[in-house]
Each structure stands twice: as C-alpha cells, then as structure tokens.
C-alpha cells in the first residue's frame, strides 16, 4: 500500500470519518466448539476484530472514501430499497425494465441472513462479508468437470469490483451476472453504507447458544387451559429429553469428528428447555418476558400457550429478534412480522370461512351472534360482522353477549332467539362444560330451518356429548377424524412408547407441540453450525414442505415471508348424537 493510501487508511480507524457515530460495534466474542482447532479460532477472531474496524478496509486492502458510514442507511437499502432521504432506490432489471423501492430490495433474494436463496434454477448467492471477499471454489469440479460449474466460480471481490457488480452486473472476473440481478443506481457513499451493513449479516452466533448447548424456551400463562398446558409440557420435556438421550454420544464425536463428518458432528449442542410462566394481566407479560430473557437468553421460543391473547409475546419476540415458532394460539398477530411462525390464522381463519359460507348460502335471513366476553369471542364476532358487512352491506347481523356460567344465560338466550327469529345462529363461546350445555339445551327448541354454527373448539366438545337429533355446522381447519390417520397414529405411538397416555392428553396440543419441536430441531440441525436466528427462520420457510408433519392440518406449507403454515379451512356438519363429522364444503383458502 502506498504511503498516501496508508495515511488515508489510518485516518479511517475507529473514531474517524470512516466509522462515525454509527459504525459497527465489535461483535461479541463467539464461544467455540472444542472440535474447531485453536489456530482456526484465532484466524476467525482476528477477522472479526478487523470487521469491527471496517471490513472493507482490511479484507480488500483498500481504504474506502472518507465519509461517515451509516449502517442504518445500508439497512434501509438492503431491507426496504429506500434511501436516507426517503426516496426509493432505482434500478433496472432484465436489461431495460425500470424498478424501484421494495421491488429491488436486496432482501427479496438474498434474505435477511444474507445467505441467499434459490427458486428453480435461479440462485441468489450469499452476500455476507465472508462469502463476498474470498474466492468461490467448488470442490465438485475435481470430480465432474463442467463449464456450467466453472461459470459459478469466481475470484474474491474487492471494493471496486463489488461496486461494479452492483451497478453493472459483472463479477470480479468480468462475467455477466443473472439478468434477475438489478443494476442499481447508487453512488459510492450509498454503496459504502450498504457494504457496512453486509458486514453485520450472519457475522456471529445468536444469543442463547454456547459452546456446548442451545437454549430454547416455552411460555405458559396463568389462564391457559389446564389439560392443554399439561399436554404441552409433557411433550416438550419428553421430546427434549429423548433428543438429548439419543444423541448423548454426539458430544464425544463433536470433540474429534472424522474429517469427512465434521459437518455432521462438529456442530452438535445439547438442547436445554426453559419454561417461562406468565402471571397477571397480559399488559404485564412483556416486562416479565424481558426479565426472563435478560436472566437467561434463549435462541428461540418454541410452542407456548396462553389461552387468550398472544400479542404481548409476539411483540416481545419481534423486538428481540427472537424466533417464536408455532405457538398453540387461536389469536395470532397478522401484521406480517418476520420472527413469528404460526400454525394458522386461528379464529380469524374460522370467522372468514364461516363468512364465506354464509354469503354463499341461499338463506339470507337475519344472523344472531352469541359470544362471551373472552378475547376469542370478541375477535371472532367482530371479524365475522366486518367480513359480512363489507361483502353485503344490507346484511342483518346482531351480537348478544352472555356469560354461559350465569343462571339467567339460558333464559336470556331463548328470549333473544324468540324476539329476533334469526335464520342463522352463530356461537362464539369458550370451550367449556357450561357453553356446551347451553347450546345443547337450546337445540331441541329451535326450528329445523334455523342454521346453527359453532366454532371448532366447541364443536369438539359437543361431538362427545348428548346432542339432540339435529345438525349443526362449524368451520374446521384440521383433518377429519379418521382412526387410520397415519400422521396422528405416528404421534400417538411416539407418546405411548415414551410413557405418555395419548387418551389422557389433548390430541391437538399433543400433535402440534410435537410438530413444532420436530421442525425446530430439524432446522437447527440443517443450519450446520450457522446458528443465526434469521437463517434458521429461512430454513424453516423452505423445509416445511418436505417435512413429515404430524400436526392436525390437512395441508401444511411455508414460503419466503409466509407466516401461516396451514391456510385452508372447510365447513363440516355434526349430524345428531352419533357425533360424526361430514364435510359440507371442500378445503378452501378464504
């Protein structure tokens, strides 16, 4: 490096114009598995220290333009395609097609982790600092010589060649990049901001991971149904104990793994499960979660049960960038956040399915909703009324709020039905003995032409009780009951072989909790030591379609930025005292 360049680079050290007030802080020192040699640890530690002083300066051997680097500006470009001024980033795709803003955000293809993605034959490679600033070599060429494989190899990027790739679409060796790669209109300062943000992607192991263990947590609130809570805890503890017991020799293999098996054994860690119990009103839950997390950070939140609102836990996880994987809730948050994956849209999906069914029904009389004052009842009734009124403004729909446990509940309900003569009667009541008795006691007195609709939780209870000889319907998002169902049989056998009695457990909670842990463990194993939360979320998005899912759902899939794995629901009818369910509509996505 010539003297003038050296003096410029010295001026770019911490506290100078290069770092500025928003320079990347030195990443926390990682904890290393014993299988990684000391010499390699020192090299990686040295590289991390150099990154904290400005990764371009050291990795490229050049000093970038002397200006304050704004990582937040780089983050906006990468995630949202937006400049500091608020103006959208502009680019051209496929040669001459103009595009801007969110459409050209880097995250669309290279993902939050920077580890890239693929769709068919189109591959978006990793854009982390470690991937960009070293040559890309494919060992497979030693066995199979191929021009197509040769085209995927390249030299290491330098600052100028990376700027050229972003602006002109040419790699360090002059080869043209895919036409899907936008050609951006960004100046040097904006590109330096972007590259400073790239240096933070997947740069260190996420909290909750030590050299020997990975910590997971689950959440149980005071109001959670007792049987479901006992089932969830039994499955979680049994699954984690079994997982650790079946891999007890992996810790020895991880110490000195064979060279060709390092990718499999070298990243083994013991699983540890923490149970976070929430007390008091939901408004205090986030503070309790923050206290528990400060005391013992975890890598991810798995399953969980509150019996009501999930929004405080959702907000906590998004604020901490903490994966919240497949909680047992009927009240998910649907704001399009990144770190929370749900089984389905819960009571919203049921209300939307029932609304579509009522809109298609030839009987367009008055509708009476009967709900309790629970969060589920309030949300379901509001959602159904909004959907019906938006599609048919003239619809006649009223809502009656009752407390099923009160002595006057039955009289109030009968009076309301006699006064209004509804064509459809919809019940949004908490799953309980009082609710089931209230509905079952009313059914014999209703005219046969009155349609009776309940939610899926109340349907399950009514199906096992003495109903009158008449039909009622419900939105049902699970697979229809079948004693030959191989998926549920598998999880029942798993429970039996580990000393659990499936007949005493809540079957949906058993199946869904098992599925949540199975998918989480598989994603962590496929990460192969890259235990970065964003990357594990992205793995789950891609691997769910090919996983053996033992949950209750007839279809189960995820994709980039999809947060609800089960998207379909159907209307079923419960015919008389036999308690048999029959489908009324096919499985549809409302």
Q: What CATH number is given to the structural domain containing 367?
A: 3.40.50.2300
Alpha-helix residue ranges (DSSP H) falling in 113-187: 129-132, 147-152, 159-168
- Mean per-residue pLDDT of the chain: 84
Q: What does the pLDDT look like over 73-97, one tens digit per residue?
A: 999 999 999 998 999 999 999 888 9
Tell me phi and psi for residue 294, to 5 degrees.
-65, -40
Same domain, 69 and 140: yes
Residues 273 and 362 in one domain: no
Q: Is residue 564 part of a domain?
A: no
250 pLDDT tier (thresholds 50, 70, 90):
low
pLDDT tens string 515-546: 999 999 999 988 888 899 999 999 999 988 88
Q: Is residue 43 part of a domain?
A: yes
User: Angle of helix 375-391 relative to helix 347-360, nearest 10 degrees?
Assistant: 30
Do residue 115 and residue 10 come from a single domain? yes
Reply yes or no on whether the pLDDT at 434 is more than 70.
yes
Residue 13, SS3 per DSSP: coil
- Position 298 pLDDT exceeds 90: yes
How far the first Cα of the chain sits from its last, in Å, is 63
pLDDT at 256 over 60: yes
Q: Cα 93 to the chain's mean position, in Å?
A: 30
The reported pTM is 0.85
pLDDT band for position 453 (50/70/90)? very high
Residues paired with 183 in a beta bridge: 92
Report which of 345, 347, 305, 346 is spatially closest to residue 328, judged by C-alpha positions. Answer: 305
Distance between CA atoms of residues 328 and 330, nearest Å? 7
Whether residue 124 is found in the same domain as residue 174: yes
Residue 539, burial from CB neighbour count under 10 angstroms (0-12, 13-18, 19+) = buried
143 has a pLDDT exceeding 50: no
Domain enclosing residue 37, as ranges: 3-198
364 & 283 share domain? no
Tallying the residues shown for the chain, one arrives at 590
Q: Is residue 310 part of a domain?
A: yes
Question: Does 20 reside within a domain?
Answer: yes
Mean pLDDT of 313-321: 96
Whether residue 31 is found in the same domain as residue 180: yes
Q: How far apart are CA 212 and CA 254, in angstroms?
A: 10
Burial class of residue 346, CB neighbours in 10 A (0-12, 13-18, 19+) = buried
Residue 312: inside a domain? yes
How many helices (H) and strands (E) the chain has is answered by 22, 17
Q: Answer with the one of 198, 226, 258 that is the final residue of a domain.
A: 198
CA distances from 273 to 101, 286, 551 (A): 41, 20, 21
**Segment among 230-234, 302-306, 364-368, 376-380 with least mean pLDDT:** 364-368
pLDDT per position as a tens digit, 59-77: 444 444 445 778 999 999 9
The verdict on 17 and 79 lying in the same domain is yes
Q: How confident is the model at residue 44 (pLDDT cuts 50, 70, 90)?
A: low
The reported pLDDT for the residue numbered 361 is 86
The answer on 191 and 46 residing in a single domain is: yes
Last residue of a domain, one of 169, 198, 227: 198
Interior/surface letters 257-288, b for 16+ CB within 10 angstroms, e for the rest: beeeebeebbbbbbbbbbebebeeebeebbeb
The pLDDT of residue 382: 97
Shared domain for 94 and 11, answered yes or no, is yes
Provide the angle, in degrees to the nearest 10, between the axes of the packed helices 456-463 and 433-442: 80
Count CA within 13 A, CB hemisphere, residue 522: 19
117 and 191 part of one domain: yes
| 467 pLDDT tier (thresholds 50, 70, 90) | low
Question: Are 224 and 284 in the same domain?
Answer: yes
Q: Mark whether 275 and 298 lie in a shared domain.
A: yes
pLDDT at 192: 92
pLDDT per residue as tens digits for the range 10-42: 333 333 333 333 333 333 444 555 555 665 556
* Nearest CA-CA partner of 124 in 78, 163, 192: 78
Confirm whether 206 is domain-assigned: no
**Residue 287: C-alpha distances to residues 62, 318, 413 (Å):** 46, 14, 40
Whether 397 contacts 389, CB under 8 Å: yes
pLDDT value of position 104? 94
CA distance 464 to 507: 14
Is 270 a residue whose pLDDT tops 50? yes
Burial of 381: CB neighbours in 10 Å, binned 0-12, 13-18, 19+: buried
Q: Answer whether residue 112 is part of any domain.
A: yes
Q: Among residues 150, 165, 198, which one ends one of the domains?
A: 198
pLDDT confidence of residue 499: 93
- Looking at residue 268, its pLDDT comes to 78
pLDDT tens by residue, 370-380 = 999 999 999 99
> Per the structure, how many domains does the chain have?
3
Does 207 map to a domain?
no
CB 520 within 8 A of CB 300: yes
């Amino acid at each position: 490096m010539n003297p003038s360049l050296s003096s410029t680079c010295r001026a770019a050290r911490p506290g100078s114009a290069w770092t500025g007030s928003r320079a990347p802080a030195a990443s926390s020192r990682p904890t290393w598995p014993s299988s990684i040699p000391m010499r390699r640890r020192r090299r990686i530690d040295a590289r991390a220290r150099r990154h904290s002083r400005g990764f371009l300066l050291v990795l490229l051997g050049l000093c970038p333009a002397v200006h304050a680097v704004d990582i937040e500006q780089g983050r906006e470009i990468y995630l949202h395609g937006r400049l500091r001024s608020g103006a959208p980033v502009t680019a051209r795709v496929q040669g001459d097609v103009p595009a801007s803003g969110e459409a050209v955000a880097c995250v669309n293809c290279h993902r939050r982790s920077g580890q890239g993605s693929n769709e068919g034959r189109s591959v978006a490679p990793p854009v982390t600092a470690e991937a960009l600033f070293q040559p890309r070599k494919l060992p497979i060429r030693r066995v199979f010589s191929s021009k197509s494989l040769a085209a995927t190899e390249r030299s290491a990027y330098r600052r100028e060649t990376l700027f050229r790739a972003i602006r002109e679409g040419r790699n360090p060796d002059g080869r043209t990049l895919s036409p899907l790669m936008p050609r951006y209109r960004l100046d040097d300062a904006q590109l330096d901001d972007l590259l400073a943000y790239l240096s933070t992607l997947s740069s260190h192991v996420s909290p909750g991971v030590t050299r020997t263990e990975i910590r997971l947590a689950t959440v149980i609130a005071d109001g959670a149904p007792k049987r479901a809570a006992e089932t969830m805890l039994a499955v979680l503890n049994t699954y984690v104990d079994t997982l650790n017991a079946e891999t007890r020799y992996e810790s020895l293999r991880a110490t000195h793994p064979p060279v060709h098996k390092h990718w499999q054994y070298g990243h083994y860690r013991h699983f540890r499960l923490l149970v976070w119990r929430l007390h008091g009103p939901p408004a205090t839950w986030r503070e309790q979660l923050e206290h528990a997390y400060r005391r013992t950070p975890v890598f991810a939140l798995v399953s969980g049960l509150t019996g009501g609102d999930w929004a405080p836990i959702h907000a906590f996880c998004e604020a901490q960038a903490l994966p919240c994987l497949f909680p047992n809730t009927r009240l998910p948050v649907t704001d399009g956040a990144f770190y929370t994956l749900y089984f389905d849209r819960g009571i919203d999906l049921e209300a939307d399915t029932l609304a579509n069914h009522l809109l298609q029904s030839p009987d367009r009389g008055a509708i009476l909703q009967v709900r309790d004052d629970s969060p589920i009842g309030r949300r379901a009734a509001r959602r159904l009324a909004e959907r019906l009124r938006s599609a048919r403004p003239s619809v006649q729909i009223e809502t009656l709020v009752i407390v099923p446990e009160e002595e006057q509940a039955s009289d109030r309900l009968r009076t309301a039905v006699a006064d209004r003569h509804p064509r459809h009667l919809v019940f949004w009541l908490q799953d309980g003995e009082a609710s089931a008795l209230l509905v079952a006691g009313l059914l014999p007195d209703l005219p046969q032409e009155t349609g009776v609709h309940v939610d899926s939780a109340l349907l399950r209870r009514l199906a096992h009780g003495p109903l009158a000889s008449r039909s009622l319907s419900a939105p049902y998002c699970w697979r229809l009951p079948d004693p030959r169902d191989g998926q549920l049989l598998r999880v029942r056998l798993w429970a039996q072989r580990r000393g659990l009695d499936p007949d005493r457990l809540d079957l949906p909670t058993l199946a869904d909790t098992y599925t949540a842990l199975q998918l989480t463990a598989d994603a962590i194993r496929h990460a192969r030591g890259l235990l970065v939360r964003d990357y594990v979320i992205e793995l789950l998005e891609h691997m769910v379609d090919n996983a053996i899912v033992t949950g209750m759902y007839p279809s189960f899939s995820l994709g980039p930025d999809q947060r609800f794995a089960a998207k379909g629901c159907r209307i079923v009818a419960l015919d008389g005292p036999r308690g048999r369910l029959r489908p009324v509509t096919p499985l549809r996505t409302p």
